[in-house]
Structure 1
Amino acid sequence: MTLSEPLSAIPADLVAACDYQRYALARLDANALAYLQGGAADELTCQANLDTWRDWAIVPRLLRDLRGGHTRCTLLGDELQHPILLAPVAYQQLFHAEGELASTLAAGVMGGAAVLSSFASTALEDVAEAATGPLWFQLYWQGDGPATLALAQRAEAAGYRALVLTVDAPVSGLRNREQRAAFALPDGIAAVNIAKPPVLPQLPPGGSAVFDGMLAIAPTWDDVRWLCRHSRLPILLKGILHPGDARLAIETGAAGVIVSNHGGRVLDSQWPALNALPGIRGELGAEALILLDGGIRRGTDVFKALALGADAVLIGRPYIHALATAGALGVAHLLKLLREELEVAMALSGCRELSSIGPQALQSLRGSNE
């Protein structure tokens, strides 16, 4: 692994998320870039996640009294200064020596929250000790209920405030960009919070490594119900795109859902999360906790997500670009930029607080507001 020394100050030309991407692409090696930038197969979903924001236009309302406006929100009892969380991203030491310690520190300093990946390259207890804001812990099913619950309880003991169970990746996506680059973790970087990988069943003669292997130990709705009953932390299900699955998530005991297609890294040709959001909000009603990730690069994207039904959003690749460029300073600066862009969008569209951002603030450029 070869990483450029992170910047100690923010250059004047770093004024948007796209600028951090430009810097990161020039600084990271091919191995790290294949993991970070790549998606499944032809990466159609990766591109769709970016393109779908252009389908919606903001319709401003003018001359309103916006004094005292703010971007504060409350999630699971914690008041945050803005609705932009850091999504779980694995192996962050690939991109910066301080990895998850730097990104979560920045999230807290900027009044936000972060979700630590099960596949973090830093011990979850060390991250919690260094954090200055609320942390959630992302879970993958560990092959059986007791192993999964043990990892959840470890996060609870360390002070994490919620669990995010990722349910859209019972098998890994076929990420051709990584395959072509022969991606491999460098020495010294590993998923340090996973004691051992789940034990796969022995394949029968002629058996499928997918259906008779990974899917044989994949969770079901009954497993989610069991975990929700046994965990003392609220659980959000991440990877929901269908209203029916959103309804099942709440019925099985989840505290909320995260509308997501895994950043386009699992199944190619998936529906963009933003397109799924209105239907899921309609299914669950106004009181349900719904977050969204996928392709957010601007404060106006955050605005559109909130208008279509999200309570908050998560960003992934953009903050890793910032981390690779300038460590914790870069992540904090990126969050500052996105929050300022959101504030300006709110001010220029007549919205004083997040609750005033609704579907009436948008118009579909495809001729439908559904």
Structure 2
Amino acid sequence: MADPADGFVPPASLAEFAALARAVLPADVWDFVDGGSGTETALAANRAALDRVAVLPRMLAGVDDPSTEATLPGGRAALPVAVAPMAYQRLLHPDGEPALAAAARAADVPYVASTLSSTPIEEIAATGATVWFQLYWLRDRALVADLLDRAEGAGCAAVMVTVDVPVLGRRLRDARNGFALPPHVTAANLPGGRDDLAHQGTPGVSAVAVHTGAVFAPALSWADLEWLRARTRVPLLVKGILDPRDAVRAADAGVDAVVVSNHGGRQLDAAPASAAVLPEVVAAVDQRCAVLLDSGVRGGVDVLRALALGADGVLLGRPLLWALAAGGRAGAEAALALLAAELRDALILSGCPDPASARRLRTRIGG
């Protein structure tokens, strides 16, 4: 965990980072990170669904020193975890994406860099972390191709295309706050001026939503995914899958992994919790590609739950933004170290020598 000399004292659980972050962030930035779409039904469902997953531990397994290592689409990792793609991290801390990427490197887990990072992909990759590049599909196909070339040129180990944002979900907290990016936070991977709309605050309007509406392509199709598969030499992941039929079609297109995600409850508010549909997706792809879980993960026990439901790993999002806000790189390192300790304890308590064996555990829904 973080050295006390860094001036950051970590809390006892990942969930406790939320209060630390809220205490230091402007109210509108907190709402931007914490909020969901609509009435935030999907946001609440993610947590409720994971809490309903009970895992049947195996006894007398003789496990006292489990391995937490796992194989993810981009290679081996110290945990079955990747840092989820999250935009504009300099909103949370001046050091932004490089600080969180450096923490991921220290934890030996992949860091997924967003198209809407507030630091260029080249600077993020220079931290030495294992970096995956998250792609939003833009109206400008030439810019999409340029981003892919830059990501591969920077040494990114995988590409993750997000498919559930044809338009930005109606995030009412941001609209009420008239949320806009401050001048020092930019979409650093886009050409100069392409994010001007995100800085133009208007009462009752989310400037971020206006910006994404102008630059995102709403008509992303399976033909585009096939183009991307042919264009991309590194492993390809598709994030935002909920219907098993889409998971099968993605596997047919040759993707290396699907990420079961409702975008943290920030897109379709009527979407199901990611954990609720995870077993159906796992069964549908039938080991033809890896399956990762995103949305709602808050600690090592949740990682165990995801594995027991059939996932190969998880993406961890908001808790790491909270930790970044609370303590910069030291906070993020503390959060990832705490997650590793929680997962190790969960593996011992469930009688599993490693994450692969946790996928053979049985579950009960509802306790």
Same fold (TM over 0.5): yes
The range that moved more, 275-284 or 77-86, is 77-86
Residue 42 (structure 2) pairs with residue 45 (structure 1): yes
Which residue of structure 2 aligns with residue 204 of structure 1?
none
SS in 2 for 1:338: helix
Residue 20 (structure 2) pairs with residue 15 (structure 1): no
Cα drift, residue 111 of structure 1: 1.2
**Structure 1 residues 246-265: aligned runs within 5 Å:** 246-265=247-266
The aligned length equals: 346
SS in 1 for 2:126: helix
CA deviation string 1:72-121 (max 9, x = no partner): 01223522111121101100000000000100000010111110010000
Counterpart amino acid of 1:320? L
Cα drift, residue 194 of structure 1: 1.4
2:65–2:348: 8 Å Cα contact kept in structure 1?
Answer: no
- The structure-2 alpha-carbon separation of the partners of 1:51 and 1:322, relative to structure 1 and needing over 3 Å to count, comes to same
Q: Distance in 2 between matches of 1:333 and 1:302?
A: 17
Which residue of structure 2 aligns with residue 165 of structure 1?
161
Give the aligned CA root-mean-square deviation in angstroms: 2.0
SS in 2 for 1:112: coil
Residue 178 (structure 2) pairs with residue 182 (structure 1): yes
Which residue of structure 1 aligns with residue 226 of structure 2?
225
Q: Quick one: which of 30, 33, 45 aligns to 1:33?
A: 30
CA deviation string 1:211-242 (max 9, x = no partner): x9889752100111011112112211100001
Which residue of structure 2 aligns with residue 106 of structure 1?
103
Give TM-score, length-normalised by structure 2.
0.90
Which residue of structure 2 aligns with residue 121 of structure 1?
118
CA deviation string 1:304-345 (max 9, x = no partner): 001111111011110000000001111111111111111111
1:292–1:313: 8 Å Cα contact kept in structure 2?
Answer: yes
Q: Distance in 2 between matches of 1:144 and 1:95?
A: 29
Q: Quick one: which of 147, 151, 155 aligns to 1:151?
A: 147
1:143–1:218: 8 Å Cα contact kept in structure 2?
Answer: no
Residue 309 (structure 2) pairs with residue 313 (structure 1): no
1:142–1:197: 8 Å Cα contact kept in structure 2?
Answer: no
Which residue of structure 2 aligns with residue 328 of structure 1?
329
List runs of 5+ in structure 2 lacking aligned partners: 196-209
SS in 2 for 1:325: helix
Counterpart amino acid of 1:110? A
Counterpart amino acid of 1:357? A
Counterpart amino acid of 1:40? S
Q: Distance in 1 between matches of 2:216 and 2:185?
A: 27
- The structure-2 alpha-carbon separation of the partners of 1:139 and 1:215, relative to structure 1 and needing over 3 Å to count, comes to closer
Counterpart amino acid of 1:15? A
The range that moved more, 83-92 or 356-365, is 356-365
- The structure-2 alpha-carbon separation of the partners of 1:127 and 1:288, relative to structure 1 and needing over 3 Å to count, comes to same
2:55–2:308: 8 Å Cα contact kept in structure 1?
Answer: no
Which residue of structure 2 aligns with residue 76 of structure 1?
73
Cα drift, residue 23 of structure 1: 0.5
- The structure-2 alpha-carbon separation of the partners of 1:143 and 1:125, relative to structure 1 and needing over 3 Å to count, comes to same
Q: Distance in 1 between matches of 2:217 and 2:100?
A: 35
SS in 1 for 2:112: strand
Q: Distance in 2 between matches of 1:127 and 1:99?
A: 10
- The structure-2 alpha-carbon separation of the partners of 1:38 and 1:312, relative to structure 1 and needing over 3 Å to count, comes to same
- The structure-2 alpha-carbon separation of the partners of 1:217 and 1:20, relative to structure 1 and needing over 3 Å to count, comes to closer
**Structure 1 residues 288-307: aligned runs within 5 Å:** 288-307=289-308
- The structure-2 alpha-carbon separation of the partners of 1:127 and 1:216, relative to structure 1 and needing over 3 Å to count, comes to closer
Q: Distance in 1 between matches of 2:324 and 2:248?
A: 36
Q: Distance in 1 between matches of 2:263 and 2:218?
A: 20
- The structure-2 alpha-carbon separation of the partners of 1:215 and 1:261, relative to structure 1 and needing over 3 Å to count, comes to same
User: Percent sequence identity over matched residues?
Assistant: 38
Q: Quick one: which of 178, 190, 195 aligns to 1:194?
A: 190
- The structure-2 alpha-carbon separation of the partners of 1:21 and 1:153, relative to structure 1 and needing over 3 Å to count, comes to same
Counterpart amino acid of 1:19? E
List runs of 5+ in structure 1 lacking aligned partners: 1-6, 199-208
Q: Distance in 2 between matches of 1:92 and 1:187?
A: 14
Residue 64 (structure 2) pairs with residue 54 (structure 1): no
- The structure-2 alpha-carbon separation of the partners of 1:77 and 1:187, relative to structure 1 and needing over 3 Å to count, comes to closer
